[in-house]
Chains A and B, each alone.
Chain A
Amino acid sequence: MRVGMAVLLLLLATVSGAEERLQIEVDRPGRAELRFAVQRFRSGPEIDAGFRETLYRQLVEGLEYSGLVRVIDPEAFLEPTETEDDHRSIIPCDNWRAVGADGLTEGSITSRRGRIRVRFRLWDVPRCQMQGDPGIFEAPIEQVGWLGRRIADELLLRFTGRQGVSATQVAFISDQNGSREVYLMEADGSGKTLVTSNKSINLFPSWTPDGKGLLYTSYRNGSPDLFFLSRGAKRSKTLVDRAQPKYRAVYSPKGDRIALVMAQGANTDIFLADRKGRKVRPVTSASSIDVSPAWSPDGAQLAFVSDRSGSPQIHIHDLKSGQTRRLTFRGNYNASPAWSPTGEWIVFSARTGTNFDLYLISPETGYTTPLVVHPRSDEEPSWSPDGRKVAFVSSRRGDKEIYTVDLDGANLRRLTPRFGNCTAPAWSPWLD
């Protein structure tokens, strides 16, 4: 009888607790971007209004540069457009939710001894919680624009797990002064600055993994040679003390080795050297032209171009086993491989007809998909450090110009309008 009563009670409890259930499947996001509300940061009278505005503009542009975020027009805010208190423990989330914000950024600016100090906070509005601790960034006051973009990249890291790249730079070659010199520009194409000025032919800039130095090839001494330039230094120094012509060099992801292209008899081969250009040893020694080395993100493999099969094709060399395999089989001219930071893809240029287009190929499976296809040539790709964008050279408007594009083909951006012929873009790592 006791058992019967217990069963009865359990049954009653179950029945009375049952609630109507409804299953809903959502199979498509309604919008591609996240929506951010950005308040102008609070500042004291010591901060020039122009600096404050520059910081705000660069922060907004940095967020939108990612292609992942759309910044909400402050005119739509139900709350003040300027941060009133960036220490409060709660914000009126309903009001921010009402304007459709996924994230809210607020902060304050102070300055001291020529340096600007920004304290900022990021709120996850739908969940009404702060995303991480308050961040504090500092920079010389003349770098206020960079600071705004750097904060934007940090906000993206906190919200999406992947740091933005708006505060990175692109090194490239331009002939706008008559000779081919190395230049630097911000990732959005602004702030172009001359790096070399030797009135010679300079080629193939590439970054050290910490972003504090550049390798490049120069004909300044008559034959092609490798040079290294530290950030802030005025003079470059030669690298790899060998008599043979040296055409191109790239640092390994850890920065402990250099892969370089050097003449070997009538051909060129790939060589390895230590980080100072010493202890040079061959990687390939075929009777073919081997050029354009590109490191895998783990530093264990090198992709390169070789014509050993009769036409330029992309090959992969495993440094541990010493084995080389051919990766591309379609087309009769595949060149300029660049391994994505995630390791998932190699982007390369493939000749189609008389022009080149950009394709992605999986180094594991060989699966190939187009990235940029245009009637004019698109070539010389370089990955952004987050692996979401590619910089490349296109002649779609006549001169060779540098563009960037997202991995899904969206957000095509022209970086070097009216700047002569621009080639060999090299996207920097994250810079701090």
Chain B
Amino acid sequence: MIPARFNPQTPRRHRTGGVWSTLFLGAIIIAIVALGALLTNIMDESFGLVAIESRIDPATLERDGTLLEALDKEQLIQILTEHISAGLLRRLENDQAFEERDRGNVYALVLERVVEPEIVKTWSLTDSLLNRDAIKAEALAKYPQATLEFHAWINPAFMQMSQSSKPEFAGVRTAILGSLWTIAITIIVAFPTGVGAAIYLEEYASDTLVNRVIQTNINNLAGVPSILYGMLGLTIFVRGLEPFTSGALLGAVDTTTANGRTVLSAGLTLALLVLPLLIINAQEAIKAVPGSLREASYGLGATRWQTIWHHVLPNAMPGILTGTILAISRAIGETAPLVVVGASAFVALDPSGPFSKFTTLPIQIYQWTTRPQDQYRNLAAAAILVLLVLLLSLNAAAVLLRNRYSRKL
């Protein structure tokens, strides 16, 4: 038997070790729980029971025993003419002639103008599932006129409708299109510039003062808060280059804006924002191309640019693309700089080009989140789901790309 004085500490030390290892793991578990809470919270608000009060009960609009949803276009137009004023009818006719509208469009009009459903109260998903009876009783007592139904806030109509002052008819189409336009401009500007800068720093730059300054500067830029890029964009693109960013210089002014707060300004601002990140990622990819490849190319008499274009770039491309996708997904989620650059609070018209007014998905989420009414909270949650799915698919694409092309050189 070993005398006790040889190992008096050991069991205690191991116990302490066990406790701490649990604590270390606990930190990760808390992070995972937080992620779970975040996702649950969003799902919870995206679906649930709602109480809907309609100005006119859809049941009274039945024709010959056919439900409103099943009526054909002619009957729907008839309902429309019976229930709305002649002036409004003329205006709708002016927007788009009734002959040209399809049935779905007319049905939407009947809902919006005649039935006018209004969501008076919403419940979260967990409430809706667990306390269904209590909710029914509450709805009956407080909103006797209302019908209670299960509503998915994220639905096809939500994806197709543009911004509206009524939460029942608000959608994210304008915001999604705005995001796509902005990102397209960001990619067009940032990708060639970023890859170019990375090539310069990795393949050409010798260790001179200028090049060292450029490298240090890029690393520091990556740490500048995004909101400051917004202020840069506001001053340079929106105000300084207004003739260019508003389209006046090219004779392409969008009549609805006519100032520099356009898709183009937003895209350029985001391009500057992601540039450092993109350059650093591309540099890593280029660094990973083995030197022997370059030597072989030079040995065959290729010039420097030929070597880069035919050998270095093709081999670095998967890495560069992965890095680019990651940088772009950061740009898609950016909100603060775009608020500063001047995203419009309310855009109902789809952006038609680089000189349109803009709003983007994160901006839409921000605006809905900051409204006090519950309905907008639900809309924000649904829009967040759309954004997260978009980002997740981008990241999945990046991972696939990495796995597909990552071969050992």
The answer to whether A and B come from one shared complex is no
Residues of B at under 8 Å CB distance from A? none
